[in-house]
Amino acid sequence: MSGRPGDHPITDVLFHDADYFTPEIRVLFKEVYELSSKHFKVFNDIDLSDSNEIIHEKLLVLKKEHSEG
């Protein structure tokens, strides 16, 4: 269920290697997705209109939460 390129920025990053975000953010999206047992709902609180810095921080928090649990 990866969707087609252009369907959604997150699936584009995860499955189509889109470069909408910085390399660090793209890696974090992929790491969090893997750690969350591949549940997209883990990204529900990510507002893609936020700055890269805010998205980066939110992803770091998600990564920590899912790494611990």
Residue 50 lies inside a defined structural domain of this protein: yes
Look up residue 27 and give its two tokens: 């890696």
Chain centroid to CA 53: how far?
A: 13
Residue 20 lies inside a defined structural domain of this protein: yes
pLDDT in tens, 3-48: 789 999 999 999 999 999 999 999 999 999 999 998 999 999 999 9
Overall number of domains in the chain: 1
Residue 3 lies inside a defined structural domain of this protein: no
pTM: 0.90
Residue 4 lies inside a defined structural domain of this protein: no
Domain of 56, in residue numbers:
9-68
Residue 45 lies inside a defined structural domain of this protein: yes
Radius of gyration of the chain (CA): 11
